[in-house]
Amino acid sequence: MSDTSKRGWLIPIGGAEERSTDALILRRFMELCGGRDARILVIPTASELAETGPNYVSLFEEMGARSRYIPIDEREDCFAEEIVSTLERASGIFLTGGNQLRLSTILGGTPVARSIRDRFAKGVHVAGTSAGAAIVCEHMIAGGPTGPTPTENGVTMAPGLGLTNKAIVDQHFRQRDRLGRLLTALSYNPFATGLGIDEDTAAFISPRGTLEVVGSGAITVVDPSGLQHSSMHDASDQDPISLIGLTLHILTAGDHFNLETRQAQAITLN
């Protein structure tokens, strides 16, 4: 059995995180990575905007960390020895937002993806925002319609980086009304916990699987471990899905959830 205490922290962010004033989420990630000794590598592959990588590098450098980005735009870039060796020197890896299918089709099955998993297993912290948050899981939500009701065709799934198999993440959650597609994803196989992460909100997940909410929004936690009934196997195209026995928590800043025991804990204010 592997020693999970050696893993890095995993930080999926719901997108649109604060990047001015105190930049709470990004600053906390930087401090985890070593503060002024941090070496943060930005991977802007999900975005097709040329300024995405440099903008995050500037943010982390303004906070006092050392940072650089690697422009991985094609699959062949993921086989370059120089890029893989750059990952070996990072204390933190940051995956930007954009299109998660662009991320998975370019990185999937390459030395860069293997290196990210290896570095994470050895204690390097990995954060991702928006599309970068979706891909950290073993099973990635790649798309789906908006709305609160799970339906037979309510989500598109794809393989992710596999940094955790304990959770399925959806982002921009409340802002884009994505409860239905998260519930649909969980109905396929109610093993993982669903994490619907609002904008400017992050789940700081420790190596032991304890999650803390950081940011201005909320995380909707859907625990399917008590599921008693799902109609997914009988559903026809676009049918609504019946799910009975789910547990739902709404967690805000400072609240905790243990992905191993499935216990939620509210912050205690003195």
Q: Among this protein's residues, is 130 annotated catalytic?
A: yes
Going by C-alpha positions, the residue among 211, 238, 234, 239 that lies closest to residue 223 is 211
| Catalytic position from the list 47, 91, 187, 199 | 199
Cβ-based neighbours of 143, under 8 Å, separated by 6 or more? 101, 155, 156
Cα–Cα distance measured from residue 192 to residue 164, given in angstroms and rounded to the nearest whole number: 9
| Catalytic position from the list 104, 115, 130, 230 | 130
Query: What CA–CA distances, in Å, run from 254 to 10, 17, 222, 257, 267?
Result: 16, 17, 18, 10, 5
In a 3-state reduction of DSSP, which class is residue 27? helix
Q: Among this protein's residues, is 81 annotated catalytic?
A: no
| Catalytic position from the list 67, 172, 230, 249 | 172
Cα–Cα distance measured from residue 251 to residue 218, given in angstroms and rounded to the nearest whole number: 5
Cα–Cα distance measured from residue 96 to residue 86, given in angstroms and rounded to the nearest whole number: 17
| Count of beta carbons in the 10 Å neighbourhood of residue 162 | 16
Q: Among this protein's residues, is 18 annotated catalytic?
A: no
User: Catalytic site residues?
Assistant: 130, 172, 199
